Amino acid sequence: MKRLELHVIYRCVNDCVFCSERDHMREFSRHPATMAEIADLLEQKRGEGCEHVTFTGGEPTLFPKIWRALEKAKSLGYRTFLVSNGSALALPEFAERTLPHTDEICLSLHGHDGETHTALTGVPRSFERLSRAFANVQAHAKEHFLMFNCVVTPLNLPHLERVLRFAASFGKLRQALFSLPAPLGAARAGYRDLSPRYGELMARVPELRRGADESGVALRFGGVPVCVLGEHRETADDLYFSPRLTLSRKRLADGTIGWHEEKGLRPTRGRFYPSACGPCSLKGRCGGVYRAYWDAVGKVELTPLGIEGKACRS
């Protein structure tokens, strides 16, 4: 395991309608990690071979003086990755303390304007703060690997090209990730209405592909079976998945709060392989279909792929 994913805090200033961590935040919001715990975990996992660490949550920038944790990771030789909604990175002083110790950044962008983004995050002015975060990253002297994640819903689906153009306008953008909602936490209820259909997303892909190519940005789609993307299958985020070790809060048998350690070998969180996936050569690299999507939509048209990436004959 080279990649470590560390949930340092279960609090967030946003209240996203699709938040996959809402259940964990309700249970563990009063049990953040301590700096001593984080330092010990970083040292232990570095000794076990981890080279890349993702700081996530909740909103990891709410962890007190998160730059100390990032600095500790860098001192141990990690490549650091910060996943954030941009609320704290909008503050120049915070950004100046944090960005020097951060190699990769993923900002959560869910709309092309304040109205759409706010409708999904549940917090007024969250779009304005995120915009300032993009600007602060752009202005910083360090060359970061900057990407964004947009969780696609029927509300922002018609505007995905404008989302991409907005983020690319700040410069430094290297990757754009458009993800279907994961049917966990807040997204579990009402998933049928929260997730767009594969065909609806595919209708946007050609224009998104053109926009990404023009901007020099790598385009990725998360939570979508590889075969669904057809001629654009190389944009499936599943194909770039790296095995990882996730550390998150857990209530132990004696009632105390400790750590849960989970190895992620494939991108299969909440997903399964229908019978049509049986002969596919990419089974295992592709995570399959979200079970909640299958249950909500019914039969999904899938095209298993042969060894050379061509459709298998039925």
pTM over 0.75: yes
Give the percent of the chain with pLDDT over 90: 90
User: Is the confidence at residue 188, as pLDDT, over 70?
Assistant: yes
Give the pLDDT confidence of 11-36 residue by residue, as tens digits: 999 999 999 999 999 999 999 899 99
Mean pLDDT computed over 175-183 = 97
Cα distance between residue 242 and residue 266, in whole Å:
8
Report the pLDDT value the prediction gives residue 307, as an integer from 0 to 100.
46
Report the pLDDT value the prediction gives residue 314, as an integer from 0 to 100.
30
Q: How confident is the model at residue 234 (pLDDT cuts 50, 70, 90)?
A: very high
Cα distance between residue 258 and residue 305, in whole Å:
42
**Fold of the domain spanning 3-270:** TIM Barrel (3.20.20)
Q: In what order do the strands lie in the sheet with 79-84?
A: 218-222, 173-179, 145-151, 104-108, 79-84, 52-56, 3-7, 244-251, 257-264
Q: How confident is the model at residue 306 (pLDDT cuts 50, 70, 90)?
A: low
Query: Which residues, 6+ apart, have CB-to-CB distance to 139 below 8 Å?
Result: none
Q: Are the CB atoms for 21 and 44 separated by under 8 Å?
A: no
Cα distance between residue 304 and residue 311, in whole Å:
6
| Eight-class DSSP state of 180 | P
Flag the least confident range among 56-60, 88-92, 307-311: 307-311
- CB burial of residue 271 (10 Å; 0-12, 13-18, 19+): buried
Backbone angles phi, psi at 210, to 5 degrees: -65, -45
Structure tokens at 216: 């020099």
Structure tokens at 287: 């995570």
Structure tokens at 50: 């981890």
Cα distance between residue 295 and residue 9, in whole Å:
32
User: Is the confidence at residue 130, as pLDDT, over 80?
Assistant: yes
Cα distance between residue 173 and residue 218, in whole Å:
9
- Nearest residue to 149 via CA among 90, 252, 222, 94: 222
Give the pLDDT confidence of 239-265 residue by residue, as tens digits: 999 999 999 999 999 999 999 999 999
User: Is the confidence at residue 174, as pLDDT, over 60?
Assistant: yes
- More confident call, 213 vs 308: 213
Give the percent of the chain with pLDDT over 70: 97
SS (H, E, C) 19-70: CCCHHHHHHHCCCCCCHHHHHHHHHHHHHCCCCEEEEECCCHHHCCCHHHHH
Give the pLDDT confidence of 252-303 residue by residue, as tens digits: 999 999 999 999 999 998 999 999 898 899 999 999 999 999 999 877 888 8
Report the mean per-residue pLDDT for the chain. 94
Cα distance between residue 22 and residue 145, in whole Å:
28
Q: Are the CB atoms for 119 and 156 separated by under 8 Å?
A: no
Q: What share of the chain is helix, strand, coil (3-state, %, to 5)?
A: 40, 20, 40
Cα distance between residue 19 and residue 161, in whole Å:
23
Give the pLDDT confidence of 202-231 residue by residue, as tens digits: 999 999 999 999 999 999 999 999 999 999
Report the pLDDT value the prediction gives residue 309, as an integer from 0 to 100.
52
Q: How confident is the model at residue 311 (pLDDT cuts 50, 70, 90)?
A: low
Q: Where are the domains of the chain?
A: 3-270
E strands of the chain, at which residues? 3-7, 52-56, 79-84, 104-108, 145-151, 173-179, 218-222, 244-251, 257-264, 271-272, 289-290
- Nearest residue to 147 via CA among 110, 173, 179, 112: 173
Report the pLDDT value the prediction gives residue 167, as an integer from 0 to 100.
98
